[in-house]
Structure 1
Amino acid sequence: MTDTTQTAPPLSALFSGANLFPTLMLGGAICLHAVETYITATLMPSIVRDIGGLSLFAWATTLYVAASVIGSIFVAVRPAAVSLNRCYVGGATLFGLGSLVCAIAPVIEVVLAGRAIQGLGAGLLVTLGYSFIRFVYPEALWRKASTLYAAIWGVATFLGPTIGGVFASGSAWREAFLILVPIALVMAWLAPRRLPRGEDRNAAPPAPFAQIVLLLASVLLVSFAGSVEVVALRSGLAGLAVLGVAGMVATERRAGARLLPAGAVRLSSALARIYLIMLLLLVVLASDIYIPYFLQTLHGVTPLVSGYLVAMLALGWTSSAFLTAGLSGRRAVLSIAAGTLVEAVSTGMLVLLLARDNADGSLAVLACATIAIFGMGFGVGMGWAHLVTLVLKLAPDDEKDKASAAITTMQSLGSAFGAALAGVVANSTGLLDPGGIAGDIAAAGWLYGLFALPGLCAFVLALSLLRQPR
């Protein structure tokens, strides 16, 4: 975590010489995932109105990110004969197949199956972005590459809601998924022609099956808890999910085949705290899956506009990533800590701004809510690239691949648990019973009040990094 006096190369270096095609391909993979995220966020209210399944609303995100965990782990434990560019081909192909399944789905359960296939492909693609960093760029460009990924989310800010909103307004949500299919297939065709093979390995590391099963079981248990009506059963499922996470941590500490780099499950390790901050930031951010729904039901906003308003979150992430990209050492850690606090406060503000009956669409209320949504993303962007850089620097040399995959694993788990917990909170506090305006107001209030708390926990962890020897 030392400060550097060396002049960092400009962001444009990612697009010059031998860096150009890898940047376009890796950026394209992130863009495909990011644009689809906002398409689906904008479309979900229209989908449940068309084919039903409001109680399963959060599952569209939960299954997607749970499957992406499997995809991200595969990159680290893949067979020796499977190169990184071949993983890219598989990821893009699966993403296209999942989009096709969503497009032809007659019921919500088939949409969820398609989302799981999409998530598996996305897990591969996003993890490859981090895995390829050390193969195609010098270390001086690692932070710039991470900043670029944040900028791509800014592009998705405009593309995703536009595509999703236009198709949602015309009740043509199926076509919004369908247009992703040929794009994914073209990217799969280009991968072996434009990307290097990546690392050659003599043997694949053993797969941490026990930890994977425990983590995925925990995510699914929380999701089930959100969709059942019996309070006692809901509490029991949530308790089992907590036990699953505890079992995973205990198994990871003594297992020969580890899911995470050495020391990543012990809070005394800086690497463990960095991963935990990543996870908590994404848990908070996952509460955004209900923002389009509450904007449409409580504030009278159209699907297109609601898509753009929730996309302000990504715009916040992008803008703060650029503003803080030049920081290093202690200043970078201070940016991480400040960002966690900004995210927590912005999320808490939605209790006052989103959880209210604004059927007339008061511009003053919507403007303040938009600032808070922007702040959620701004806080994450202040620290994300610095967290990624710290992981790549602190991980042992022989575990860089595992450390890169674990970044996406934490990102996916944070989103998965966040979405599942959001479903539990919303469904338990009024979304389904009593429902209607009163139920939506109660659900939104509880949701954003409770989800500010993980952000405060991340703030405490970030402060502890300042005391880490540098």
Structure 2
Amino acid sequence: MSDSVVTPKEAAPRLSSLFRRASLFGTLMLGGGIMLHAVETYITATLMPSIVRDIGGLSLFAWATTIYVAASVLGSTFVAVRPESVTLNRCYVAGAVLFGIGSLVCAIAPTMETVLVGRAVQGLGAGFLVALGYAFIRFVYPEPLWSSASTLYAAVWGIATFLGPTIGGIFAAGSAWREAFALLVPLSIVMALAAPKLLPSGEGERVTTRTPFAQILLLVAAVLVLSLASSVTSEALRALLAIAAVAGVVATVAIERRAEARLLPAGTIRLASPLARVYLIMLMLLVTICSDIYIPYFLQVLHGVTPIVSGYLVALLALGWTTAAFTTARLKGRSANRVIVAGAAVEALATAMLIFALARHNPESEFLVLATATLFIFLMGFGIGMGWAHLVTHVLHLAPAGETDKASAAITTMQALGAAFGAALAGIIVNSTGLLHPGGVAGALTAAHWLYGLLALPAAVAILFALRLPHEGG
């Protein structure tokens, strides 16, 4: 853990420093891994309405996201608890290969169930790649560039904002969603072949422990049980499954508190730990942001927009994240903490305002109505982007000695859990409030009202945790 004070000159390097000769290839590889994941996210968001129209499975809509991120928990965890003989660049190869295999399965899937299998394999690979992006930061860049490297990931998401919906929308409009998944296969192969040559091995000091199988299994089970709750029709069974999911999380915390084989860095399970508060903020913000998985559906059903337009509009969320990341990247200390608090407030408010802007019937696609909804979609992403790079920097500074790998991988674990629980909760909310019964426009209106009202709350809770953060590097 670093307690060093960074001088103003060192604290605000330019993003272009990441592309100097010493770190160029590392930047391209790490950015490429994040790019695979980010582009695929927007391809899938844009394609899902077309997929369910083609092969059915509307009740499994949220599962396409949930099973993906549940699998990514496993992938990110392996990075932290891998055997000592397995270097980080070997993990990168495995992640790229798994991502390519999963994309191929999605491309040839005859049913929604098969799509979910492919998504699970994709998610496992994505867990590797995203966790490695953070784990490699300290091997590829000097410490003053850590925050800039985190901002780079936001830039990658910004590029994906345009590539993903474009690819997904074009193929959705032509009912050729399978080809969109197939495009990711050769990209994965190239990344797998290049990793051993362009990335350092990533060997360094770390505390090795036994794999925390119990915690991993309980968390994944909780995610899957909550997802199942989102797709069952019986309200009593849905409530029972939701309670079981909560029990799984509570059991995970209880085991982690006293286990020798830990999933998170030492001391993180206590709320008094600053690192615990950072992870909780990440988790809460991501739960809220995952209410976006139904935005393309609501735009198409309620506002009469085409698949490609709905893809671009939801992608503005990532553009907001990117814009905010660049705007706030050079802030440090108290200013960085204030912007984390402000960002959580912006995200919570923008999500709540979608009740009025998105959850309304606009069959003529009136410009003013769509423009208002678009603004709040953008602000949802802007809010989380204001503080995300600073939260990542907090993790790298607060990590206990020898546990930086575990702390870095836990960022991805929080991302995956936030996305998984967010998607599952979104599924429970919309399926409980009319999306399936009565369905159609009336059901979509009711479901959208409840979805954005309830999922604004986690971001609001994150404000409370953000008020108690230490200064970066402190």
TM-score with structure 1 length normalisation? 0.98
Residue pair 1:83, 1:200 contacting (<8 A) in 2 also: no
- The 1-side partners of 2:465 and 2:95 are apart by 34
- The 1-side partners of 2:242 and 2:439 are apart by 23
Unaligned ranges ≥5, structure 2: none
Structure 1 segment 191-202 matched on structure 2, within 5 A: 191-200=195-204
Residue pair 2:390, 2:472 contacting (<8 A) in 1 also: no
Give the match for residue 9 of structure 2. 6
- Out of 406, 410, 417, the position equivalent to 2:414 is 410
Q: Are 1:226 and 2:236 matched, yes or no?
A: no
- The 2-side partners of 1:277 and 1:244 are apart by 21
1:323 alignment partner AA: T
Count of residue correspondences = 470
Quote how far apart the aligned CAs of 1:263 are. 1.6
**What is the percent sequence identity of the aligned residues?**
69
Structure 1 segment 20-419 matched on structure 2, within 5 A: 20-200=24-204, 204-419=208-423
CA RMSD, Structure 1 to Structure 2 (Å) = 1.5
- Out of 433, 438, 444, the position equivalent to 2:442 is 438
- The 2-side partners of 1:464 and 1:53 are apart by 44
| Deviation sequence 1:102-132 (CA, Å, 0-9, x none) | 0000000000000000000000000000000
Residue pair 1:354, 1:444 contacting (<8 A) in 2 also: yes
Residue pair 2:99, 2:188 contacting (<8 A) in 1 also: yes
Q: Could you tell which deviates more after superposition, 198-207 or 218-227? A: 198-207
| Deviation sequence 1:161-214 (CA, Å, 0-9, x none) | 000000000000000000110110011001101111111579942111111011
Q: Residue 18 of structure 1 aligns to a residue in which SS?
A: coil
- The 2-side partners of 1:202 and 1:49 are apart by 49
1:423 alignment partner AA: G
2:83 alignment partner AA: P
1:125 alignment partner AA: L
Q: Could you tell which deviates more after superposition, 169-178 or 264-273? A: 264-273
- The 2-side partners of 1:446 and 1:453 are apart by 12
Quote how far apart the aligned CAs of 1:464 are. 2.1
Q: Are 1:457 and 2:461 matched, yes or no?
A: yes
- The 2-side partners of 1:265 and 1:201 are apart by 23
Residue pair 1:80, 1:200 contacting (<8 A) in 2 also: no
Quote how far apart the aligned CAs of 1:397 are. 1.6
| Deviation sequence 1:395-437 (CA, Å, 0-9, x none) | 1121111000000000000000000110000100000111111
- The 2-side partners of 1:455 and 1:203 are apart by 33
| Deviation sequence 1:341-374 (CA, Å, 0-9, x none) | 0000000000011111101101101000000000
- The 2-side partners of 1:188 and 1:356 are apart by 46
Quote how far apart the aligned CAs of 1:462 are. 0.7
2:350 alignment partner AA: S
Quote how far apart the aligned CAs of 1:18 are. 1.4
1:318 alignment partner AA: T
Residue pair 1:4, 1:329 contacting (<8 A) in 2 also: no
- The 2-side partners of 1:399 and 1:79 are apart by 14
Quote how far apart the aligned CAs of 1:9 are. 2.2
- Distance change in 2, residues 1:346/1:202 (3 Å): closer
Quote how far apart the aligned CAs of 1:469 are. 11
| Deviation sequence 1:17-41 (CA, Å, 0-9, x none) | 2100000000000011000000000
Quote how far apart the aligned CAs of 1:389 are. 0.2
- Out of 433, 440, 451, the position equivalent to 1:429 is 433
Residue pair 1:334, 1:466 contacting (<8 A) in 2 also: no
- The 2-side partners of 1:300 and 1:468 are apart by 46
- Distance change in 2, residues 1:270/1:357 (3 Å): same
Unaligned ranges ≥5, structure 1: none
Over 6 Å off, 4+ runs = 466-469
1:392 alignment partner AA: L
- The 1-side partners of 2:388 and 2:306 are apart by 31
| Deviation sequence 1:239-262 (CA, Å, 0-9, x none) | 010111011011100000110011
- The 2-side partners of 1:70 and 1:309 are apart by 31
- The 1-side partners of 2:91 and 2:36 are apart by 16
- The 2-side partners of 1:406 and 1:130 are apart by 10
- The 1-side partners of 2:207 and 2:408 are apart by 18
